[in-house]
Amino acid sequence: MFVCAGLLAACSGASGSAVVEIESVAEVSPSASVPALEGVAQTRGGVSLIAFERGLWLFGPTTSLQPDADGRVDRASAWSSTMDFDADDGLGPFEMATDAAGGPAEVLIKTAEELAFEAAGAELEPPARVRLEPLGAARQSLYGPVLVYYAKSRVDGGSGGSGGGAVGSSVAIWNAVELGAQRPVFDPAAPEPTLLFLAPEPAYGLAPTLVDGAVHVWACTDRQVEVPCTLASVPAGEAFERDAYRFWTGAGWSEAIDEAAPLFDGAERLSVHLNGFVDLWLAFYAKEGVAVVRSAPALTGPWSPELPVTELEPGAHSVLGHGELRREAGALEYLTYVRPSPEDPAVEELRLLELRLSPS
């Protein structure tokens, strides 16, 4: 990684969109990683928000350094929390949630049918697995419960790892920290009773944001050549009703999901939040070994060209912004990313970057 100064020029993009100016990028506490997941070898993600009077950090597929009491090292997700909201000197300590077997506690609770599927294929190689990966989380209202959007995928046991795949995406509700995120059943008679969107529909749920009583969520689908990102919106009180979602077409909102128009080429994991210091929406993600940012005056665009923030180490991934950590009225932004540890490349660590913005 390199530290940059004046890397992004304040200008207008080719589309006429406003481009954020970043004066400098520096690593916070260069000698220490963010200790969000103790005893973890590999993970993905790191979306965060403030809820239940603490900072919640949600991660995707996670592998532990040591087996739990059941002999497992893998989890579909994990989460931890901290009372530290000031990132200028690093973050921590964190309390990692654990389950009855002593491993990382998963964010989302599996249904009886999903547990039975895993049990039936537990002795196969690879074993059958249902993966519920958090995509993003946001408060349903200023002081309301947390909406946790997630993607469901499946590994069919004994398939040599080739069976299964994406199933769909949906939203869960987290009312109290000790309860975990509960997944509502929308249609008991459906093959996937807990899902709002079914593959091959886009997996809406990235970077949920509450704006004027509506939740806006993104879907960024890997098409190999590009990763088009589309936007959906739903009244916050109707987030569990599939028919209430509307999709941005480029000219307005439509009930038809297939009319959603890509707003930009992004990545399968990203963050999007409003920065009041520059009065722009900022989208952070990783692309081809570089942390990048796009900016826009509105969620619906126009979005700026993709601009580099900093080069990443080989193998680094999961670049995400953390809007709740902003300091100095938004002049300071914070990003995290996951990289292989220099001491042991088989073990990953979470790093923290501080960005200083110039006023627009």
Q: What is the pLDDT of residue 48?
A: 97
The pLDDT tens digits of the residues spanning 228-262 come to 999 999 999 999 999 999 999 999 999 999 999 99
Please list the ranges in the chain whose pLDDT falls under 50.
1-15
Instruction: Tell me what the pLDDT averaged over the chain comes to.
Output: 92
Q: How far is residue 144's CA from residue 213's CA, in Å, rounded to a whole number?
A: 12
Cβ–Cβ < 8 Å for 149, 170: yes
Non-local (6+) Cβ contacts of 261 within 8 A are 230, 248, 249, 250
Instruction: Report which of 358, 310, 290 is spatially closest to residue 25, judged by C-alpha positions.
Output: 310
Q: What is the pLDDT of residue 31?
A: 79
Q: CA 244 to CA 95: how far, in whole Å?
A: 37
For the chain, the maximum distance between any two Cα atoms, rounded to a whole number of angstroms, is 59
Q: Name residue 254's beta-bridge partners.
A: 247
Rg (CA), the chain: 20
Question: What integer pLDDT is reported at residue 5 of this predicted model?
Answer: 37
User: Looking at residue 93, what is its pLDDT?
Assistant: 94
First and final CA of the chain: distance in angstroms?
27
Cβ neighbours of residue 15 closer than 8 Å, sequence gap 6 or more:
301, 302, 303, 304, 305
- DSSP 8-state secondary structure symbol assigned to residue 84: -
